[in-house]
Amino acid sequence: MVEKIPSWIEKLLLPKLSEITGEIKAINARIDSLDKKIDSIEKTMNTRIDSLENRIDLLEKTFNERFLSLRNEMISLRNEMFTKFDSLEKTIPMMEKLKELEIRIARLEKEKQVV
């Protein structure tokens, strides 16, 4: 079939093929450069994400510690309040009895004065 390319086609196509080959090499170089930039950005983003995750973990730990501290303080205050209420519950009947005794003493003193 075609054993030899006519010289006029060769003269036309070879420079174009050579130019296309050069452009493809340039495109490949730009792609490689973009790949390096993307890798660098990815590493930076991963570093930042790791840093943020560490900060979030620290904030979560601090929050949990403070929350537990407040919880324990509230439990302590509740227990103290219950203790004071228990003490009041014991004191009120004694105060009522004391009041009754004061009333009786006052009555007896009145009766003594009348007699």
Tens-of-pLDDT digits for all 115 residues of the chain?
456 667 777 778 888 888 999 999 999 999 999 999 999 999 999 999 999 999 999 999 999 999 999 999 999 999 999 999 888 888 888 888 889 999 999 998 888 887 6
**In Å, how far are 12, 68, 69, 75 from 72, measured between CA atoms?**
89, 6, 5, 5
Number of domain units in the chain: 1
In a domain, 48, yes or no: yes
In a domain, 49, yes or no: yes
In a domain, 23, yes or no: yes
Instruction: Please report, in angstroms and rounded to a whole number, the separation of the first and last CA atoms in the chain.
Output: 157
Read off the pTM: 0.53
In a domain, 68, yes or no: yes
In a domain, 109, yes or no: no
In a domain, 98, yes or no: no
Task: Measure the CA–CA gap between 74 and 81, rounded to whole angstroms.
Answer: 10
Give the range of the structural domain holding residue 32, as residue numbers without chain letter.
7-86
